[in-house]
Structure 1
Amino acid sequence: MTTVNQEPYRVGGKSFTAVAINTAAKAGEWIKSRVGEIRRVDVKYSSHDLVTEVDKGSEKMIRNLILTHFPHHAFLGEEGVEPGPEASAAALENVSDAEYLWIVDPIDGTTNFIHGFPFFSVSIALAYKGEVIVGVVYDPMRDELFVAEKGKGAYLKAAKLGVSGESALSESLVGTGFPADREGALPINLAGINALMPKVRNLRNAGSAALHLAYVAAGRLSGFYEIGLNAWDIAAGALLVQESGGRVTDTAGQPYTLGVRNVMATNGLIHEELQNELQQAGATGL
Protein backbone atom coordinates (compact mmCIF):
# COMPACT_ATOMS: atom_id res chain seq x y z
CA MET A 1 0.00 0.00 0.00
CA THR A 2 2.13 2.85 -1.25
CA THR A 3 1.24 6.39 -0.39
CA VAL A 4 3.82 9.17 -0.23
CA ASN A 5 6.59 9.37 -2.80
CA GLN A 6 8.70 11.80 -0.77
CA GLU A 7 11.33 10.61 1.68
CA PRO A 8 9.48 9.33 4.78
CA TYR A 9 10.39 9.84 8.41
CA ARG A 10 13.03 7.31 9.38
CA VAL A 11 15.15 6.15 12.28
CA GLY A 12 17.95 3.65 11.82
CA GLY A 13 16.94 3.19 8.20
CA LYS A 14 13.38 2.16 9.09
CA SER A 15 10.43 4.23 7.92
CA PHE A 16 7.97 5.12 10.67
CA THR A 17 5.23 5.45 8.08
CA ALA A 18 5.89 2.09 6.47
CA VAL A 19 5.76 0.37 9.85
CA ALA A 20 2.50 2.15 10.72
CA ILE A 21 0.94 1.20 7.36
CA ASN A 22 2.01 -2.44 7.50
CA THR A 23 0.95 -2.79 11.13
CA ALA A 24 -2.48 -1.25 10.56
CA ALA A 25 -3.03 -3.45 7.50
CA LYS A 26 -2.11 -6.66 9.33
CA ALA A 27 -4.25 -5.80 12.35
CA GLY A 28 -7.15 -4.78 10.13
CA GLU A 29 -7.03 -7.99 8.12
CA TRP A 30 -7.13 -10.02 11.33
CA ILE A 31 -9.99 -7.94 12.76
CA LYS A 32 -11.99 -8.40 9.56
CA SER A 33 -11.51 -12.16 9.77
CA ARG A 34 -13.08 -12.13 13.24
CA VAL A 35 -16.30 -10.30 12.35
CA GLY A 36 -19.20 -12.41 13.57
CA GLU A 37 -17.00 -14.59 15.78
CA ILE A 38 -17.09 -12.65 19.05
CA ARG A 39 -17.14 -15.02 22.02
CA ARG A 40 -17.25 -12.49 24.83
CA VAL A 41 -18.09 -8.82 25.31
CA ASP A 42 -16.96 -6.98 28.44
CA VAL A 43 -18.15 -3.63 29.79
CA LYS A 44 -15.54 -0.97 30.58
CA TYR A 45 -16.50 2.56 31.69
CA SER A 46 -20.24 2.15 31.08
CA SER A 47 -22.68 -0.27 29.49
CA HIS A 48 -22.03 1.58 26.23
CA ASP A 49 -18.22 1.33 26.46
CA LEU A 50 -17.35 -2.19 25.33
CA VAL A 51 -14.28 -4.33 24.71
CA THR A 52 -13.78 -7.76 23.16
CA GLU A 53 -10.95 -10.27 22.93
CA VAL A 54 -10.42 -8.94 19.39
CA ASP A 55 -9.69 -5.41 20.67
CA LYS A 56 -7.16 -6.85 23.10
CA GLY A 57 -5.65 -9.18 20.50
CA SER A 58 -5.39 -6.38 17.95
CA GLU A 59 -3.61 -4.09 20.41
CA LYS A 60 -1.18 -6.86 21.39
CA MET A 61 -0.40 -7.50 17.72
CA ILE A 62 0.11 -3.79 17.01
CA ARG A 63 2.31 -3.30 20.08
CA ASN A 64 4.48 -6.31 19.23
CA LEU A 65 4.92 -5.30 15.60
CA ILE A 66 5.81 -1.69 16.39
CA LEU A 67 8.14 -2.44 19.29
CA THR A 68 9.93 -5.10 17.24
CA HIS A 69 11.05 -2.28 14.94
CA PHE A 70 11.33 0.47 17.56
CA PRO A 71 11.90 -1.17 20.95
CA HIS A 72 12.83 2.06 22.70
CA HIS A 73 9.70 3.95 21.72
CA ALA A 74 6.82 4.53 24.15
CA PHE A 75 3.40 3.05 23.47
CA LEU A 76 -0.07 4.26 24.52
CA GLY A 77 -2.93 1.96 23.57
CA GLU A 78 -6.56 2.18 24.60
CA GLU A 79 -6.75 -1.34 26.00
CA GLY A 80 -3.72 -0.79 28.22
CA VAL A 81 -5.46 2.03 30.08
CA GLU A 82 -8.06 1.76 32.83
CA PRO A 83 -11.53 3.02 31.80
CA GLY A 84 -12.65 6.58 32.45
CA PRO A 85 -11.48 10.10 31.62
CA GLU A 86 -9.26 10.48 34.69
CA ALA A 87 -7.35 7.29 33.92
CA SER A 88 -6.97 8.33 30.27
CA ALA A 89 -5.54 11.71 31.24
CA ALA A 90 -3.17 10.08 33.73
CA ALA A 91 -1.97 7.54 31.16
CA LEU A 92 -1.16 10.30 28.69
CA GLU A 93 0.63 12.29 31.38
CA ASN A 94 2.76 9.26 32.24
CA VAL A 95 4.21 9.14 28.71
CA SER A 96 4.29 12.90 28.10
CA ASP A 97 8.09 13.01 28.33
CA ALA A 98 8.61 10.31 25.70
CA GLU A 99 10.59 11.40 22.64
CA TYR A 100 8.67 9.01 20.37
CA LEU A 101 5.18 7.91 21.38
CA TRP A 102 2.91 5.57 19.43
CA ILE A 103 -0.78 6.23 20.12
CA VAL A 104 -3.10 3.39 19.15
CA ASP A 105 -6.77 2.52 19.07
CA PRO A 106 -6.86 -1.15 18.04
CA ILE A 107 -10.54 -0.99 17.06
CA ASP A 108 -12.17 2.43 16.95
CA GLY A 109 -15.86 1.56 16.74
CA THR A 110 -16.01 -1.57 18.88
CA THR A 111 -19.80 -1.44 19.21
CA ASN A 112 -20.11 -1.41 15.42
CA PHE A 113 -17.68 -4.33 15.20
CA ILE A 114 -19.66 -6.36 17.74
CA HIS A 115 -22.90 -5.85 15.82
CA GLY A 116 -21.36 -6.42 12.39
CA PHE A 117 -22.01 -2.81 11.36
CA PRO A 118 -19.18 -2.21 8.88
CA PHE A 119 -17.81 1.12 10.12
CA PHE A 120 -14.79 0.68 12.38
CA SER A 121 -11.08 1.27 12.03
CA VAL A 122 -7.55 0.80 13.29
CA SER A 123 -5.95 4.10 14.30
CA ILE A 124 -2.17 4.44 14.69
CA ALA A 125 -0.31 7.70 15.29
CA LEU A 126 3.29 8.54 16.12
CA ALA A 127 4.12 11.67 18.08
CA TYR A 128 7.60 13.17 18.30
CA LYS A 129 8.11 15.33 21.39
CA GLY A 130 4.35 15.72 21.73
CA GLU A 131 3.57 16.53 18.09
CA VAL A 132 1.95 13.99 15.77
CA ILE A 133 4.18 13.30 12.75
CA VAL A 134 2.56 10.16 11.32
CA GLY A 135 -1.11 9.18 11.25
CA VAL A 136 -2.74 6.09 9.78
CA VAL A 137 -6.44 5.17 9.89
CA TYR A 138 -7.39 1.87 8.26
CA ASP A 139 -10.94 0.77 7.44
CA PRO A 140 -10.61 -2.99 6.83
CA MET A 141 -14.17 -3.45 5.57
CA ARG A 142 -13.64 -1.04 2.67
CA ASP A 143 -9.88 -1.62 2.45
CA GLU A 144 -9.31 2.12 2.75
CA LEU A 145 -6.04 3.16 4.35
CA PHE A 146 -5.67 6.87 5.07
CA VAL A 147 -2.07 8.01 5.64
CA ALA A 148 -0.54 11.34 6.64
CA GLU A 149 2.99 12.54 7.32
CA LYS A 150 3.56 15.94 8.86
CA GLY A 151 4.39 18.44 6.15
CA LYS A 152 3.92 15.92 3.34
CA GLY A 153 0.17 15.71 2.85
CA ALA A 154 -2.44 13.02 3.38
CA TYR A 155 -3.21 10.19 0.98
CA LEU A 156 -5.67 7.41 0.23
CA LYS A 157 -4.49 4.75 -2.25
CA ALA A 158 -1.78 7.09 -3.60
CA ALA A 159 -4.31 9.91 -4.24
CA LYS A 160 -3.74 13.11 -2.31
CA LEU A 161 -6.60 14.06 0.00
CA GLY A 162 -8.21 17.46 0.25
CA VAL A 163 -10.99 18.81 2.44
CA SER A 164 -14.39 19.86 1.10
CA GLY A 165 -15.27 23.32 -0.17
CA GLU A 166 -18.47 24.11 1.72
CA SER A 167 -18.26 27.60 3.21
CA ALA A 168 -21.39 27.60 5.39
CA LEU A 169 -22.97 25.22 7.88
CA SER A 170 -26.16 25.31 5.83
CA GLU A 171 -24.29 23.52 3.04
CA SER A 172 -22.39 21.14 5.31
CA LEU A 173 -22.60 17.49 6.30
CA VAL A 174 -21.18 17.31 9.83
CA GLY A 175 -20.20 14.24 11.86
CA THR A 176 -20.45 13.73 15.60
CA GLY A 177 -20.79 10.92 18.12
CA PHE A 178 -22.72 9.65 21.14
CA PRO A 179 -20.15 9.52 23.96
CA ALA A 180 -19.92 6.48 26.22
CA ASP A 181 -19.93 8.82 29.25
CA ARG A 182 -23.71 9.00 29.59
CA GLU A 183 -23.67 11.29 32.61
CA GLY A 184 -21.02 13.83 31.58
CA ALA A 185 -20.12 14.08 27.90
CA LEU A 186 -23.32 12.79 26.31
CA PRO A 187 -25.71 15.56 27.47
CA ILE A 188 -23.22 18.18 26.29
CA ASN A 189 -22.85 16.53 22.91
CA LEU A 190 -26.63 16.25 22.57
CA ALA A 191 -26.98 19.97 23.27
CA GLY A 192 -24.67 20.56 20.33
CA ILE A 193 -26.70 18.22 18.13
CA ASN A 194 -29.93 20.03 19.03
CA ALA A 195 -28.38 23.39 18.20
CA LEU A 196 -26.74 22.28 14.97
CA MET A 197 -29.49 20.16 13.44
CA PRO A 198 -31.51 23.14 12.12
CA LYS A 199 -28.34 24.87 10.90
CA VAL A 200 -26.58 22.15 8.88
CA ARG A 201 -27.48 20.22 5.74
CA ASN A 202 -27.42 17.12 7.93
CA LEU A 203 -25.60 15.35 10.76
CA ARG A 204 -24.04 11.89 10.79
CA ASN A 205 -22.93 9.60 13.59
CA ALA A 206 -21.52 6.36 12.24
CA GLY A 207 -19.65 5.35 15.41
CA SER A 208 -15.92 5.75 14.75
CA ALA A 209 -14.31 9.10 15.54
CA ALA A 210 -11.10 8.14 13.74
CA LEU A 211 -12.99 7.35 10.53
CA HIS A 212 -15.09 10.50 10.86
CA LEU A 213 -11.86 12.51 10.99
CA ALA A 214 -10.52 10.63 7.97
CA TYR A 215 -13.74 11.48 6.17
CA VAL A 216 -13.23 15.18 6.93
CA ALA A 217 -9.75 14.85 5.43
CA ALA A 218 -11.20 13.17 2.34
CA GLY A 219 -13.91 15.81 1.87
CA ARG A 220 -16.75 13.37 2.68
CA LEU A 221 -17.69 15.36 5.77
CA SER A 222 -17.39 19.14 6.08
CA GLY A 223 -16.66 18.88 9.78
CA PHE A 224 -16.74 16.77 12.92
CA TYR A 225 -17.01 17.45 16.62
CA GLU A 226 -17.34 15.33 19.74
CA ILE A 227 -17.06 15.75 23.48
CA GLY A 228 -15.06 13.42 25.73
CA LEU A 229 -12.73 11.64 23.32
CA ASN A 230 -9.19 10.42 24.06
CA ALA A 231 -5.81 10.83 22.41
CA TRP A 232 -6.07 7.45 20.67
CA ASP A 233 -9.42 8.43 19.12
CA ILE A 234 -8.11 11.68 17.67
CA ALA A 235 -4.33 11.74 17.07
CA ALA A 236 -4.06 10.00 13.69
CA GLY A 237 -7.22 11.57 12.30
CA ALA A 238 -6.20 15.05 13.43
CA LEU A 239 -3.02 14.86 11.36
CA LEU A 240 -5.02 13.58 8.37
CA VAL A 241 -7.27 16.64 8.55
CA GLN A 242 -4.41 19.09 9.01
CA GLU A 243 -2.42 17.61 6.14
CA SER A 244 -5.50 17.75 3.90
CA GLY A 245 -5.83 21.49 4.39
CA GLY A 246 -8.35 21.42 7.23
CA ARG A 247 -8.29 22.77 10.76
CA VAL A 248 -8.34 20.96 14.10
CA THR A 249 -8.86 22.63 17.50
CA ASP A 250 -10.62 22.01 20.75
CA THR A 251 -14.25 23.10 20.92
CA ALA A 252 -13.20 26.53 22.24
CA GLY A 253 -11.08 27.07 19.13
CA GLN A 254 -7.72 26.55 20.85
CA PRO A 255 -4.95 24.65 19.01
CA TYR A 256 -5.06 20.85 19.02
CA THR A 257 -2.72 19.00 21.38
CA LEU A 258 -2.62 15.37 22.47
CA GLY A 259 -4.48 16.34 25.64
CA VAL A 260 -7.56 17.62 23.80
CA ARG A 261 -10.70 15.64 24.65
CA ASN A 262 -13.37 17.93 23.17
CA VAL A 263 -12.43 18.20 19.53
CA MET A 264 -13.57 20.05 16.45
CA ALA A 265 -12.20 19.36 12.96
CA THR A 266 -13.39 21.03 9.77
CA ASN A 267 -12.47 22.04 6.26
CA GLY A 268 -11.45 25.35 7.83
CA LEU A 269 -14.14 27.32 6.05
CA ILE A 270 -16.93 26.47 8.51
CA HIS A 271 -14.73 26.29 11.59
CA GLU A 272 -15.64 29.57 13.24
CA GLU A 273 -19.34 29.17 12.47
CA LEU A 274 -19.37 25.68 13.97
CA GLN A 275 -17.47 26.83 17.03
CA ASN A 276 -19.84 29.76 17.54
CA GLU A 277 -22.87 27.48 17.42
CA LEU A 278 -21.38 25.10 19.97
CA GLN A 279 -20.39 28.04 22.18
CA GLN A 280 -23.88 29.57 22.10
CA ALA A 281 -25.44 26.19 22.90
CA GLY A 282 -23.16 25.64 25.89
CA ALA A 283 -21.95 22.53 24.13
CA THR A 284 -18.17 22.94 24.14
CA GLY A 285 -17.65 20.92 27.32
CA LEU A 286 -15.11 23.54 28.41
Structure 2
Amino acid sequence: MDIAIRQQIFEDAKEWIYQAGQQIREQMNNPYEIDTKSNANDLVTAVDKSTEQFFAEKIRGTYPGHSIVGEEGYGDKVESLDGTLWIVDPIDGTMNFVHQKRNFAISIGIYHDGIGEIGLIYNVMDDVLYSAKKGEGAYREQVKLPLLRDDVKLETSVLGLNAQLVCENKYYNAKKIQQLIRDCRGTRSYGSAALEFAHVAEGILDGYVSMRLAPWDIAAGIVLVEEVGGVTVQATGKPVNLLQNSTILTTNKQIKDRVIDHYIEFN
Protein backbone atom coordinates (compact mmCIF):
# COMPACT_ATOMS: atom_id res chain seq x y z
CA MET A 1 0.00 0.00 0.00
CA ASP A 2 1.24 3.47 -0.88
CA ILE A 3 2.52 5.29 2.23
CA ALA A 4 0.46 8.44 1.59
CA ILE A 5 -2.73 6.41 1.09
CA ARG A 6 -2.03 4.41 4.25
CA GLN A 7 -1.52 7.60 6.24
CA GLN A 8 -4.85 9.03 5.07
CA ILE A 9 -6.67 5.81 5.90
CA PHE A 10 -4.98 5.78 9.30
CA GLU A 11 -6.06 9.36 10.06
CA ASP A 12 -9.66 8.64 9.05
CA ALA A 13 -9.80 5.42 11.07
CA LYS A 14 -8.35 7.17 14.12
CA GLU A 15 -10.90 9.99 13.89
CA TRP A 16 -13.77 7.53 13.57
CA ILE A 17 -12.57 5.37 16.45
CA TYR A 18 -12.48 8.38 18.78
CA GLN A 19 -15.96 9.42 17.62
CA ALA A 20 -17.31 5.91 18.20
CA GLY A 21 -15.72 5.79 21.65
CA GLN A 22 -17.41 9.02 22.62
CA GLN A 23 -20.75 7.69 21.43
CA ILE A 24 -20.28 4.52 23.49
CA ARG A 25 -19.44 6.51 26.63
CA GLU A 26 -22.55 8.64 26.11
CA GLN A 27 -24.71 5.49 25.90
CA MET A 28 -23.11 3.64 28.81
CA ASN A 29 -25.75 4.42 31.41
CA ASN A 30 -28.77 4.49 29.12
CA PRO A 31 -31.07 1.46 28.88
CA TYR A 32 -30.01 -0.75 25.98
CA GLU A 33 -31.04 -4.15 24.67
CA ILE A 34 -28.85 -7.16 25.53
CA ASP A 35 -29.12 -10.37 23.50
CA THR A 36 -27.16 -13.60 23.26
CA LYS A 37 -25.65 -15.24 20.18
CA SER A 38 -24.03 -18.69 20.23
CA ASN A 39 -24.65 -19.27 23.96
CA ALA A 40 -25.79 -17.53 27.15
CA ASN A 41 -22.32 -16.04 27.70
CA ASP A 42 -21.92 -14.74 24.13
CA LEU A 43 -23.47 -11.32 24.57
CA VAL A 44 -24.33 -8.62 22.07
CA THR A 45 -25.93 -5.27 22.77
CA ALA A 46 -27.63 -2.59 20.74
CA VAL A 47 -24.48 -0.53 21.31
CA ASP A 48 -22.32 -3.18 19.58
CA LYS A 49 -24.65 -3.08 16.60
CA SER A 50 -24.97 0.70 16.34
CA THR A 51 -21.20 1.11 16.66
CA GLU A 52 -20.47 -1.35 13.86
CA GLN A 53 -23.11 0.32 11.72
CA PHE A 54 -21.38 3.67 12.35
CA PHE A 55 -18.07 2.28 11.07
CA ALA A 56 -19.67 0.55 8.08
CA GLU A 57 -21.33 3.79 6.97
CA LYS A 58 -18.10 5.79 7.39
CA ILE A 59 -15.97 3.24 5.52
CA ARG A 60 -18.41 2.74 2.64
CA GLY A 61 -19.00 6.47 2.31
CA THR A 62 -15.29 7.29 2.16
CA TYR A 63 -13.74 4.15 0.65
CA PRO A 64 -16.43 2.46 -1.45
CA GLY A 65 -13.89 0.08 -2.99
CA HIS A 66 -12.87 -1.37 0.37
CA SER A 67 -14.45 -4.43 2.00
CA ILE A 68 -15.54 -4.91 5.62
CA VAL A 69 -15.50 -7.91 7.94
CA GLY A 70 -17.56 -7.20 11.06
CA GLU A 71 -18.89 -9.17 14.00
CA GLU A 72 -22.44 -7.84 14.08
CA GLY A 73 -23.65 -8.27 10.50
CA TYR A 74 -22.84 -4.95 8.83
CA GLY A 75 -19.86 -6.32 6.90
CA ASP A 76 -19.54 -7.88 3.47
CA LYS A 77 -19.38 -11.50 2.39
CA VAL A 78 -15.60 -11.77 2.11
CA GLU A 79 -14.01 -14.88 0.64
CA SER A 80 -10.46 -13.64 0.02
CA LEU A 81 -7.98 -11.12 1.42
CA ASP A 82 -7.56 -9.39 -1.93
CA GLY A 83 -7.86 -5.61 -1.95
CA THR A 84 -8.23 -3.46 1.14
CA LEU A 85 -10.12 -5.05 4.02
CA TRP A 86 -11.31 -3.46 7.28
CA ILE A 87 -11.76 -6.02 10.06
CA VAL A 88 -13.87 -4.40 12.78
CA ASP A 89 -14.88 -5.37 16.30
CA PRO A 90 -17.09 -2.55 17.63
CA ILE A 91 -16.87 -3.73 21.24
CA ASP A 92 -14.33 -6.42 22.06
CA GLY A 93 -15.18 -7.58 25.57
CA THR A 94 -18.96 -7.15 25.51
CA MET A 95 -19.36 -9.04 28.79
CA ASN A 96 -17.01 -6.53 30.45
CA PHE A 97 -18.98 -3.70 28.83
CA VAL A 98 -22.23 -5.05 30.28
CA HIS A 99 -21.01 -6.07 33.73
CA GLN A 100 -18.04 -3.83 34.50
CA LYS A 101 -18.45 -0.75 32.29
CA ARG A 102 -14.72 -1.00 31.56
CA ASN A 103 -12.03 -3.32 30.16
CA PHE A 104 -13.38 -3.37 26.60
CA ALA A 105 -12.04 -1.99 23.34
CA ILE A 106 -12.80 -1.03 19.77
CA SER A 107 -10.54 -3.00 17.45
CA ILE A 108 -9.85 -2.22 13.78
CA GLY A 109 -7.33 -4.05 11.61
CA ILE A 110 -6.82 -2.84 8.03
CA TYR A 111 -5.23 -5.27 5.56
CA HIS A 112 -4.22 -4.90 1.92
CA ASP A 113 -3.83 -8.06 -0.13
CA GLY A 114 -3.47 -10.04 3.07
CA ILE A 115 -0.81 -7.81 4.65
CA GLY A 116 -1.57 -6.02 7.90
CA GLU A 117 -1.11 -2.31 7.21
CA ILE A 118 -2.84 -0.64 10.18
CA GLY A 119 -3.90 -1.77 13.65
CA LEU A 120 -5.96 0.31 16.09
CA ILE A 121 -7.10 -0.82 19.54
CA TYR A 122 -8.94 1.79 21.60
CA ASN A 123 -9.46 1.24 25.33
CA VAL A 124 -12.68 3.23 25.44
CA MET A 125 -13.09 3.94 29.15
CA ASP A 126 -9.42 4.71 29.78
CA ASP A 127 -9.28 6.81 26.58
CA VAL A 128 -6.06 5.10 25.47
CA LEU A 129 -5.33 4.33 21.83
CA TYR A 130 -2.83 1.71 20.73
CA SER A 131 -1.89 2.07 17.07
CA ALA A 132 0.50 0.68 14.50
CA LYS A 133 1.33 1.13 10.84
CA LYS A 134 3.36 -1.44 8.96
CA GLY A 135 7.06 -0.68 9.19
CA GLU A 136 6.55 2.38 11.43
CA GLY A 137 6.34 0.79 14.86
CA ALA A 138 3.56 0.60 17.45
CA TYR A 139 2.40 3.32 19.80
CA ARG A 140 0.51 3.76 23.05
CA GLU A 141 -0.99 7.19 22.49
CA GLN A 142 1.97 9.28 21.23
CA VAL A 143 4.66 7.12 22.86
CA LYS A 144 6.42 4.61 20.64
CA LEU A 145 6.56 1.16 22.17
CA PRO A 146 10.00 -0.45 22.41
CA LEU A 147 10.81 -3.75 20.78
CA LEU A 148 10.01 -6.72 22.98
CA ARG A 149 12.82 -7.93 25.22
CA ASP A 150 15.10 -10.61 23.80
CA ASP A 151 15.98 -12.16 27.17
CA VAL A 152 12.54 -13.42 28.23
CA LYS A 153 12.25 -16.93 29.69
CA LEU A 154 9.03 -18.79 30.35
CA GLU A 155 9.78 -19.02 34.09
CA THR A 156 9.78 -15.21 34.36
CA SER A 157 6.88 -14.64 31.96
CA VAL A 158 3.38 -13.38 32.66
CA LEU A 159 0.86 -14.86 30.23
CA GLY A 160 -2.68 -13.97 29.29
CA LEU A 161 -4.92 -17.05 29.22
CA ASN A 162 -8.57 -17.49 28.44
CA ALA A 163 -10.00 -18.78 31.74
CA GLN A 164 -11.76 -21.68 29.96
CA LEU A 165 -8.39 -23.17 29.07
CA VAL A 166 -7.97 -24.64 32.54
CA CYS A 167 -11.23 -26.63 32.28
CA GLU A 168 -11.37 -30.19 30.99
CA ASN A 169 -11.90 -30.12 27.23
CA LYS A 170 -12.33 -32.82 24.59
CA TYR A 171 -10.35 -30.86 22.00
CA TYR A 172 -7.12 -30.03 23.82
CA ASN A 173 -5.19 -31.26 26.84
CA ALA A 174 -6.20 -29.02 29.74
CA LYS A 175 -3.65 -30.67 32.03
CA LYS A 176 -0.87 -29.38 29.78
CA ILE A 177 -2.29 -25.86 30.09
CA GLN A 178 -2.44 -26.27 33.86
CA GLN A 179 1.24 -27.19 33.82
CA LEU A 180 1.96 -24.07 31.77
CA ILE A 181 0.27 -22.04 34.50
CA ARG A 182 2.51 -23.65 37.10
CA ASP A 183 5.68 -23.17 35.08
CA CYS A 184 5.31 -19.49 34.17
CA ARG A 185 5.54 -16.64 36.67
CA GLY A 186 1.87 -15.73 36.52
CA THR A 187 -1.28 -15.57 34.40
CA ARG A 188 -3.94 -12.95 33.76
CA SER A 189 -7.34 -12.91 32.06
CA TYR A 190 -8.72 -9.53 31.03
CA GLY A 191 -11.78 -10.64 29.06
CA SER A 192 -10.86 -8.73 25.90
CA ALA A 193 -8.60 -10.36 23.33
CA ALA A 194 -7.86 -6.99 21.74
CA LEU A 195 -6.60 -5.56 25.03
CA GLU A 196 -4.57 -8.69 25.70
CA PHE A 197 -2.88 -8.28 22.31
CA ALA A 198 -2.21 -4.64 23.16
CA HIS A 199 -0.69 -5.69 26.48
CA VAL A 200 1.61 -8.14 24.69
CA ALA A 201 2.70 -5.35 22.36
CA GLU A 202 3.31 -3.09 25.35
CA GLY A 203 5.31 -5.77 27.18
CA ILE A 204 2.81 -5.99 30.05
CA LEU A 205 2.18 -9.60 29.03
CA ASP A 206 4.78 -11.88 27.47
CA GLY A 207 2.19 -13.93 25.61
CA TYR A 208 -1.50 -14.67 25.20
CA VAL A 209 -3.17 -18.00 24.42
CA SER A 210 -6.74 -18.66 23.36
CA MET A 211 -8.32 -21.66 21.66
CA ARG A 212 -11.04 -19.86 19.68
CA LEU A 213 -10.89 -16.32 18.38
CA ALA A 214 -12.54 -14.71 15.36
CA PRO A 215 -10.75 -12.48 12.82
CA TRP A 216 -12.16 -9.30 14.37
CA ASP A 217 -10.72 -10.29 17.76
CA ILE A 218 -7.16 -10.47 16.46
CA ALA A 219 -6.70 -8.47 13.24
CA ALA A 220 -5.56 -5.20 14.83
CA GLY A 221 -3.52 -6.91 17.52
CA ILE A 222 -1.50 -8.92 15.01
CA VAL A 223 -0.24 -5.69 13.43
CA LEU A 224 0.64 -4.19 16.82
CA VAL A 225 2.54 -7.24 18.05
CA GLU A 226 4.43 -7.65 14.77
CA GLU A 227 5.61 -4.02 14.91
CA VAL A 228 7.35 -4.60 18.26
CA GLY A 229 9.02 -7.82 17.14
CA GLY A 230 6.48 -10.32 18.43
CA VAL A 231 4.76 -13.11 16.55
CA THR A 232 1.20 -14.40 16.22
CA VAL A 233 0.42 -17.94 15.07
CA GLN A 234 -2.18 -20.60 15.62
CA ALA A 235 -1.59 -22.66 18.74
CA THR A 236 -0.30 -25.40 16.45
CA GLY A 237 2.36 -23.05 15.12
CA LYS A 238 0.67 -22.72 11.72
CA PRO A 239 -0.07 -19.28 10.20
CA VAL A 240 -3.28 -17.52 11.20
CA ASN A 241 -6.15 -17.54 8.69
CA LEU A 242 -7.99 -14.22 8.89
CA LEU A 243 -11.03 -15.62 7.12
CA GLN A 244 -11.93 -18.12 9.85
CA ASN A 245 -11.83 -18.67 13.59
CA SER A 246 -8.45 -19.75 14.93
CA THR A 247 -6.59 -20.92 17.96
CA ILE A 248 -4.12 -18.17 18.87
CA LEU A 249 -0.72 -17.72 20.43
CA THR A 250 0.63 -14.18 20.29
CA THR A 251 3.90 -13.84 22.11
CA ASN A 252 7.46 -12.76 22.51
CA LYS A 253 9.46 -14.87 20.05
CA GLN A 254 11.72 -16.08 22.85
CA ILE A 255 9.05 -18.34 24.37
CA LYS A 256 6.90 -19.25 21.32
CA ASP A 257 8.44 -22.62 20.51
CA ARG A 258 8.54 -23.80 24.10
CA VAL A 259 4.86 -23.00 24.66
CA ILE A 260 3.84 -24.79 21.46
CA ASP A 261 6.13 -27.80 21.87
CA HIS A 262 5.57 -28.50 25.56
CA TYR A 263 2.18 -27.17 26.66
CA ILE A 264 -0.30 -27.22 23.78
CA GLU A 265 -1.57 -30.67 22.85
CA PHE A 266 -4.75 -31.45 20.96
CA ASN A 267 -6.78 -34.58 21.71
TM-score, shorter chain, exceeding 0.5? yes
Paired residue for 1:48, among 18, 41, 44? 41
Please name the residue that 2:161 is paired with. Answer: 176
Please name the residue that 2:66 is paired with. Answer: 73
TM-score normalised by L of structure 2: 0.89
Q: 1:9 to 1:48 in 2, by over 3 A?
A: farther
1:107 and 2:100 correspond: no
Please name the residue that 1:57 is paired with. Answer: 50
Paired residue for 1:133, among 96, 102, 117? 117
Q: How far apart are the structure 1 equivalents of 2:241 and 2:34?
A: 32
> What one-letter code is carried by the residue in structure 1 that aligns with 2:181?
M
TM-score normalised by L of structure 1: 0.83
Q: 1:188 to 1:34 in 2, by over 3 A?
A: farther
Q: How far apart are the structure 2 equivalents of 1:211 and 1:267?
A: 16
Please name the residue that 1:265 is paired with. Answer: 250
1:18 and 2:11 correspond: yes
Q: 1:149 to 1:189 in 2, by over 3 A?
A: farther
- How far apart are 1:103 and its partner, in Å? 0.4
Please name the residue that 1:151 is paired with. Answer: 135
Q: How far apart are the structure 2 equivalents of 1:28 and 1:9?
A: 26
- State which drifts further: 226-235 or 18-27: 18-27
Contact 1:176–1:224 under 8 Å retained in 2? yes
Q: 1:80 to 1:189 in 2, by over 3 A?
A: farther
- How far apart are 1:66 and its partner, in Å? 1.8
Q: How far apart are the structure 1 equivalents of 2:215 and 2:173?
A: 18
Unaligned runs of 5+ in 1: 1-6, 83-90
1:216 and 2:200 correspond: yes
Contact 1:32–1:141 under 8 Å retained in 2? yes
- How far apart are 1:262 and its partner, in Å? 0.7
Tell me the SS of whatever aligns to 2:72. helix
Percent identity over paired residues: 34
Q: How far apart are the structure 2 equivalents of 1:172 and 1:241?
A: 16
- How far apart are 1:8 and its partner, in Å? 4.5
- State which drifts further: 145-154 or 157-166: 157-166
Unaligned runs of 5+ in 2: none
Contact 1:163–1:241 under 8 Å retained in 2? no
Tell me the SS of whatever aligns to 2:237. coil
> What one-letter code is carried by the residue in structure 2 that aligns with 1:261?
S
Tell me the SS of whatever aligns to 2:97. helix
> What one-letter code is carried by the residue in structure 2 that aligns with 1:23?
W
Q: How far apart are the structure 1 equivalents of 2:60 and 2:164?
A: 31
Pairing of 1:181-192 with structure 2 (within 5 A): 188=172, 190-191=174-175
Contact 2:168–2:174 under 8 Å retained in 1? no
Contact 1:223–1:264 under 8 Å retained in 2? yes
1:228 and 2:218 correspond: no
Please name the residue that 1:242 is paired with. Answer: 226
Q: How many residues align?
A: 263
> What one-letter code is carried by the residue in structure 2 that aligns with 1:239?
V
Contact 1:8–1:16 under 8 Å retained in 2? no
- How far apart are 1:178 and its partner, in Å? 4.2
Contact 2:148–2:228 under 8 Å retained in 1? no
- Alignment RMSD (CA, Å): 2.6
Q: How far apart are the structure 2 equivalents of 1:76 and 1:156?
A: 25
